[in-house]
């Protein structure tokens, strides 16, 4: 016992010195300790396993470039831009082909219903509502998803996404959040509900809650096709030229950056107000780079992501299309139910640089973000121009016919980026926090942010004479 007491007494000055250094240097001291531990571990590994050094050296050389303070962010933006450019450039032609294909089938279905003497309401619900909505979802959403998800999965399989989280880790610490929130945000690019669940890796309840409440500000799989389609139509002029594709890609990159910036801003506000506290530290261990299994990646991303998301969109879009058609064709007096609800919402929508039908489409799209644009298209077609959205060009004509400008499109994309999460994510927030109150807050807070951003943009445009 006496020997143990003497050992503790001998260690006491070292402990006090360590505490002093931690108080003075904070995170830097923590990083220095972690770096020394990993450096020692690497030295041991090199002595024991002779083949390990080659791969480790290559990983370190690449990481010095990819995670550097100077080149890390430009490389991240360049890779993201390349993914979006390839998606936009490659999606236009197959989308038009699918649109023509489904348009031809719709004509045959209409002829069949006429031959069978089916009532007009049945043709409307089945063909003009359900089928047309499904056709839009498949023709417009399938090509971008079939290109984007394999490319994104290749970056994930390569081991690059953890480097993105590493680069963003420093920023999250500065705003008073946990560095691991960068990892949960990266998960949110796939699915916001998955990002909310991923917040379990954060030990601090306060910082975990910040990560949960702000995860919906990054665009998920369900919102990416919508953002890409609208960017192609208005900012890329249909993306029929290389310059148009670059403009559309730059727009989507800008939206992603806005989502990240809003995530950081709201995290900082929460850390300074409702969820005050001292940010904790952690050490992020970067996995080694791996050679992507291209065939496996393409097959896995197509079945696990593209077809899964498309299936969910189709399942939700089918009843949504039928409901939208019914609302547009059931009249109270001389005005349809859809027109009445849109009319009530129109002042609010106009204040945000949009209209009532757009706001109503977001409300009906609460179950899944993928169906907002199909509902919007069906609502516009039911309200007037009966145009089959067989291509992005036809969709542009429809939207312009109903008063859309590039500014309307920008407000729409910003609202889509920042508004309330989908129903699945809301239920996941409720489950992860164990609180209905936080689930309601996690729904209304993003809605308030989206409203404020669009309101400021619309009012600025009006004062500038742009709207």
User: What is the rounded end-to-end Cα distance, in angstroms, of the chain?
Assistant: 82
Please give the mean pLDDT across all residues of the chain: 78
Cα distance between residue 357 and residue 178, in whole Å? 39
255 and 367 in a single domain? The answer is yes
pLDDT at 449: 95
Q: What is the pLDDT of residues 312-323, one digit of tens each?
A: 667 766 777 778
- Residue 335 is classified by DSSP as E
Residue 244 or 253, more confident: 253
What radius of gyration do the chain's Cα atoms show? Answer: 26
112 and 234 in a single domain? The answer is yes
Q: Mean per-residue pLDDT for 13-40?
A: 58
Q: Mean per-residue pLDDT for 282-308?
A: 72
Angle 406-418/356-364 helices, nearest 10 degrees?
A: 30
Is pLDDT at 92 greater than 50 in this prediction?
yes
The reply to whether 57 falls in a domain is no
Angle at 32 between CA 29 and CA 34, to 5 degrees: 110
With contact defined as beta carbons under 8 Å apart, do 412 and 230 qualify?
Answer: yes
154 and 106 in a single domain? The answer is yes
Q: Which of 143-157, 303-317, 380-394 is most confident?
A: 143-157
Q: What is the pLDDT of residues 255-283, one digit of tens each?
A: 989 999 999 999 999 988 888 877 666 66
15 and 143 in a single domain? The answer is no
Token digits for 180? 């691991």
Total-model pTM = 0.73
The reply to whether 59 falls in a domain is no
164 and 44 in a single domain? The answer is no
The reply to whether 218 falls in a domain is yes
Cα distance between residue 168 and residue 178, in whole Å? 11
Cα distance between residue 67 and residue 466, in whole Å? 41
CA distances from 69 to 170, 276, 421 (A): 10, 29, 33
Token digits for 275? 């969820």
Residues 6+ away with beta carbon under 8 Å from 139: 95, 98, 99, 101, 102, 389, 390
Token digits for 165? 């989280």
Q: What is the pLDDT of residues 412-445, one digit of tens each?
A: 999 999 999 988 889 889 988 999 999 999 999 9
- Residue 466 is classified by DSSP as -
Enclosing domain of residue 182: 72-464
Three-state secondary-structure class, residue 332: strand
Residues belonging to the chain? 467
Is pLDDT at 122 greater than 60 in this prediction?
yes
User: What one-character-per-residue DSSP string does 234-255 give?
Assistant: IISGGG-SHHHHHHHHHHHHHH
Residues 6+ away with beta carbon under 8 Å from 448: none
The reply to whether 21 falls in a domain is yes
The reply to whether 58 falls in a domain is no
H/E stretch holding 336 reads strand 335-336
With contact defined as beta carbons under 8 Å apart, do 222 and 369 qualify?
Answer: yes
280 and 363 in a single domain? The answer is yes
Cα distance between residue 96 and residue 101, in whole Å? 9
Count of domains for the chain: 2
- Work out whether the CA dihedral 221, 227, 233, 239 comes out positive or negative: negative
Residue 358 banded pLDDT, cuts 50, 70, 90? very high
With contact defined as beta carbons under 8 Å apart, do 166 and 186 qualify?
Answer: no
Q: Mean per-residue pLDDT for 34-40?
A: 58
- Residue 325 is classified by DSSP as H
157 and 11 in a single domain? The answer is no
373 and 447 in a single domain? The answer is yes
Is pLDDT at 384 greater than 50 in this prediction?
no
Task: Count other Cβ atoms within 10 Å, centred on residue 150.
Answer: 22
Residue 464 banded pLDDT, cuts 50, 70, 90? confident
With contact defined as beta carbons under 8 Å apart, do 267 and 209 qualify?
Answer: no
Residue 386 banded pLDDT, cuts 50, 70, 90? very low
pLDDT at 258: 93
Residue 377 or 278, more confident: 377
Three-state secondary-structure class, residue 331: strand
26 and 85 in a single domain? The answer is no
Q: What is the pLDDT of residues 195-220, one digit of tens each?
A: 888 888 888 888 899 999 999 998 88
The reply to whether 99 falls in a domain is yes
186 and 311 in a single domain? The answer is yes
142 and 17 in a single domain? The answer is no
Q: What is the pLDDT of residues 69-82, one digit of tens each?
A: 788 888 888 887 78
Q: Among 106-110, 226-230, 274-278, 293-297, name the one with the lowest average pLDDT.
A: 293-297
The reply to whether 209 falls in a domain is yes
Q: Among 3-17, 256-270, 452-466, name the one with the lowest average pLDDT.
A: 3-17
pLDDT at 437: 93
pLDDT at 35: 55
Main-chain phi, psi angles of 197, to 5 degrees:
-65, -35
Of the residues 48, 64, 85, the one at which a domain ends: 48
Main-chain phi, psi angles of 421, to 5 degrees:
-70, 170
Is pLDDT at 302 greater than 60 in this prediction?
yes
Would you call 131 exposed, middle or buried from its count of C-beta atoms within 10 A (0-12, 13-18, 19+)?
buried
298 and 381 in a single domain? The answer is yes
pLDDT at 129: 76
The reply to whether 200 falls in a domain is yes
Q: Among 322-331, 389-398, 413-422, name the one with the lowest average pLDDT.
A: 389-398
Task: Count other Cβ atoms within 10 Å, centred on residue 48.
Answer: 8
């Amino acid at each position: 016992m006496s020997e143990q007491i003497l050992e503790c007494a001998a260690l006491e000055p070292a402990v006090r010195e360590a505490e002093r250094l931690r108080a003075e240097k904070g995170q830097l001291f923590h990083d220095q300790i972690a770096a020394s531990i990993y450096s020692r571990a690497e030295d041991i590994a090199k002595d024991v396993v002779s083949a390990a050094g080659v791969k480790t050296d290559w990983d370190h050389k690449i990481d010095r470039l990819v995670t550097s303070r100077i080149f890390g962010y430009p490389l991240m933006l360049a890779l993201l831009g390349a993914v979006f450019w390839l998606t936009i450039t490659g999606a236009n032609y197959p989308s038009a082909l699918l649109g023509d294909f489904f348009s031809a089938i719709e004509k045959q279905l209409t002829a069949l219903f006429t031959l069978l003497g089916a009532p007009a309401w049945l043709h409307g619900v089945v063909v003009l509502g359900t089928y047309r909505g499904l056709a839009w979802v498949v023709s417009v959403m399938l090509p971008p998803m079939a290109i984007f998800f394999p490319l994104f999965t290749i970056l994930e399989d390569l081991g690059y996404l953890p480097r993105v989280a590493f680069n963003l880790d420093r920023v999250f610490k500065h705003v008073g959040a946990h560095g691991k929130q960068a990892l949960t945000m990266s998960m949110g690019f796939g699915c916001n509900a998955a990002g909310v669940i991923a917040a379990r890796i954060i030990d601090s309840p306060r910082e975990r809650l910040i990560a949960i409440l702000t995860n919906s500000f990054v665009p998920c799989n369900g919102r990416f096709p919508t953002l890409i389609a609208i960017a192609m139509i208005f900012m890329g002029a249909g993306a029929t030229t290389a310059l148009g594709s670059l403009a559309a890609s730059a727009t989507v990159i800008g939206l992603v950056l806005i989502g990240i910036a809003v995530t950081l801003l709201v995290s900082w506000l929460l850390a300074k107000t409702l969820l005050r506290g001292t940010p904790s530290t952690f050490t992020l261990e970067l996995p080694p780079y791996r050679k992507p299994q291209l065939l496996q990646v393409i097959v896995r991303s197509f079945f696990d992501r593209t077809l899964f998301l498309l299936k969910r969109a189709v399942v939700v879009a089918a009843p949504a299309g039928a409901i939208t058609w019914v609302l547009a064709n059931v009249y109270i007096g001389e005005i349809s139910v859809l027109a009445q609800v849109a009319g009530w919402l129109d002042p609010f929508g106009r204040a945000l640089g949009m209209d009532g039908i757009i706001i109503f489409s977001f409300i009906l799209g609460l179950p899944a973000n993928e169906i907002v644009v199909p509902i919007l298209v069906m609502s516009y077609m039911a309200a007037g121009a009966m145009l089959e959205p067989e291509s992005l060009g036809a969709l542009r004509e429809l939207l312009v016919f109903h008063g859309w400008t590039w500014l309307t499109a920008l407000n729409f994309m910003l609202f889509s980026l920042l508004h309330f999460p989908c129903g699945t994510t809301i239920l996941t927030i409720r489950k992860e926090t164990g609180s209905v109150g936080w689930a309601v807050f996690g729904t209304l807070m993003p809605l308030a942010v989206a409203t404020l951003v669009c309101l400021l943009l619309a009012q600025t445009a009006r004062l500038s004479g742009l709207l």
